[in-house]
Amino acid sequence: MSGRVPAILLSLICFLTLSASHVESARTFHWYNALFVFGDSFADTGNFPKSNLSEVTRQWYQPYGCSHGFLQDPTGRFSNSYVQSDFIAKILGRSEAPQTYRATKGNDYADKLGVNFAVAGAGVFEVPRKAPTLATQIDSFEKMLDGGDIGKWRLEESAALVAISGNDYARLVVANMSGGESEVLGFIGNVTDEIARGVARLRGLGVAKVLVNNLHPLGCTPWQARPSNYTKCMARGNMAAEFHNDGLGKKLNATTSDNVYLVDLNRAFTNIVDPSDDPHDASQVAKQFEEKLKPCCNSFDPSGYCGQVDEDGGAQYTVCSNPEKHFFWDDVHPTQAGWEAVMQQLEQDIKDFLRISYS
């Protein structure tokens, strides 16, 4: 009998410890245990199927994923490791973004507490890459709800990220302001209308809180900065982003909504890639990057891409020795360090919106 007492006490101690841990967790984190992600390559974690190496499948090939985990294998992310959706998930207490929609197909044991529907190349309108539009992604979400794959009751405890990052504009070269001003402004209005419509639809389906990216400074991407040898941003691309963001903010009524939050990527990116010239005003976060506009993975050919090889398998690109010192990974996507610096600036505001607090 006396030999069993320590075991009983040990079990009781373990039970009390686990119970206290559970209470602490409940007190520390709010109840958003379901995360749904929509959008493009800023958020995609492997929905675009792997096939032969090309510009649209390069995320499945080296050097993508070269900083990801022990194996340093590509994961379908457009980065050397994590992307924005992973950092949003971390804010919710997860280790990384939820499983991809592609991984749930035919998988009865998939964790439906969260699904990532984002696909690289997507926009609100059809694009040449045939990536599903925002509306089509929401269609897939709705089908999972109707089919019972996602319990509708879970939506009371859900958050969503909508990451639309300019593929519609890239297709029409709006970043260079081609066409007349009225035509450009009209198209921007159409794009922001569709984003707002998608957000309203998610809310109508029952999603509790929706995070919506505004548009980063398009003129400060390596794609736009390459003609200046990565020394300056292109004003016209940034102007297009400003028009987009102004219209989107008004249509979402984000400043007065308790359920929709506009994630200010534009401000967070600008603080890094185009900081004030005044050293007293310059963003401290910008100082960690030696290269703010030049990508870590840089193609030899301006029309080429990171990861491209010739017919003999020879690399047609260079990769920097320290991605941590580069804000951009390739022609348009940040490095993991870049995303971390962006999300550190935005994290507290997102927590406040989601009512997440830490003890």
Enumerate the active-site residues: 41, 330, 333
Rounded distance, CA 213 to CA 339, Å?
13
Q: Which residues make Cβ contacts (< 8 Å) with residue 47, sequence separation at least 6?
A: 76, 100, 101, 102, 116, 117, 118, 119, 120
Of 120, 101, 85, nearest in space to 336 by CA? 85
Rounded distance, CA 224 to CA 203, Å?
35
Structure tokens at 190: 């159409």
Beta bridge partners of 225: none
**CB neighbour class for 130 (10 Å; exposed up to 12, middle 13-18, buried from 19):** exposed
**CB neighbour class for 313 (10 Å; exposed up to 12, middle 13-18, buried from 19):** exposed
* DSSP, res 37: E
Distance of CA 216 to the CA centre of its chain: 12
> Residues 158-181, buried b or exposed e (16+ Cβ, 10 A)?
bbbbbbbbbbbbbeeebbbbeeee
* DSSP, res 96: S
Distance of CA 99 to the CA centre of its chain: 14
